[in-house]
Amino acid sequence: MHNLAEPLPDLSAFAEILPRIEASVREAGEIAMGYFRAGAPTHAEVSFKHGGSPVTEADLRIDHFLHERLQKLAPDLGWLSEETADTPERLTAEALFVVDPIDGTRGFAAGDPCFAICVALVIGDRPAYGVIHAPALAQTFIAAAGSGARCNGAAIAVSGRERLAGARLAAPHYFDKKLASSGLDYDPQPRLPSLAMRILRVADGEFDAALARENACDWDIAAADLILGEAGGVLTDLQGNAPRYNRASYKHPALAAGSPALQSRLIAAARGEKADISET
């Protein structure tokens, strides 16, 4: 499902390389699994970036692998990755790869299987193709603009729920007080270590909705944004605006993911606005 208010991006120039992008992401998953230990700490070397977030030997190796592989496929495309130093050159690129070598690094390092490798092809300021591979879960999500979304080859879609009350909602602790003050009675879902996978659980209908606090980066959400949209859902900020990519700042405000039927009420609840029980 594509937002009909926006023209479809033209993927024709990239048609031949899309299967190779998917294959490269799957190969990156094999690298990750070489370091992953289910239920136990990784044997990969772990260090910490400025601000305290972890990065592992696996993150860096996958970043290098994908940069080399994808740039060979499309040398003229720009590049933005969590583990590569950002440069202003990407801002002049008409299309670029947006990559998260491992989304959910903390979980990966601790042995949680809910981590993913994310690659989006962004044209202009919106994603046009996305692959998210969760190797420890044996799940691969793929979408191309206007062509629907799939997991392991099967079509996926957001839930058909029309009432927010009682909805299966995944939200970080940051939103607990706001949701409580809204009066919303909902079914809390696990706080997954991977933001991309949290959004994809809305895309495949396992969750009805999800929230993310501010400062998610392009690489965290670009591929998941497209997959969710092609599954019939929407990702917006708390003013109802869709994310835009490849801008000078790659950080985003707080975000809400859900079906179009739930989105306005989800946003209101995330703001802490008092729920109208008759409509939730």
Q: What is the pLDDT of residues 160-169, one digit of tens each?
A: 999 999 999 9
**Whether residues 248 and 220 fall in one domain:** yes
257 found inside a domain: yes
Amino acid 51: pLDDT: 80
Across the chain, what does the average pLDDT equal? 94
Mean pLDDT for 51-69 is 95
DSSP states along 182-211? HT---EE----S-HHHHHHHHHTTSSSEEE
Amino acid 10: pLDDT: 83
Amino acid 7: pLDDT: 76
95 found inside a domain: yes
279 found inside a domain: no
Task: Give the SS3 label for residue 231.
Answer: coil
Q: CA-CA distance, 182 to 195, in Å (whole number)?
A: 24
Q: What is the CATH number of the domain that holds 258?
A: 3.40.190.80
3 found inside a domain: no
Domain of residue 251, residue span: 168-270
Asked whether the predicted pLDDT for residue 117 surpasses 90, the reply is yes
Other CB atoms within 10 A of residue 68 CB: 10
Going by pLDDT thresholds of 50, 70 and 90, the confidence category of residue 9 is confident
C-alpha distances out from residue 139 to 117, 128, 231, Å: 11, 20, 16
**Whether residues 75 and 187 fall in one domain:** no
**Whether residues 140 and 223 fall in one domain:** no
**Structure tokens given for 180:** 């409580």
Question: What kind and span of H or E run contains 58?
Answer: helix 57-73
Q: Are 254 and 213 in contact (CB under 8 A)?
A: yes
How many folded domains does the chain comprise? 2
H helix runs in the chain, sequence order:
18-33, 57-73, 105-110, 176-182, 195-203, 218-230, 260-270
pLDDT, one tens digit per residue, over 123-136 is 999 999 999 999 99
Task: Give the SS3 label for residue 142.
Answer: strand
**Whether residues 24 and 104 fall in one domain:** yes
pLDDT, one tens digit per residue, over 68-103 is 999 999 999 999 999 999 999 999 999 999 999 999
Q: What is the CATH number of the domain that holds 109?
A: 3.30.540.10
Q: Are 202 and 225 in contact (CB under 8 A)?
A: no
58 found inside a domain: yes
**Domain end: 155, 184, 218, which one?**
155
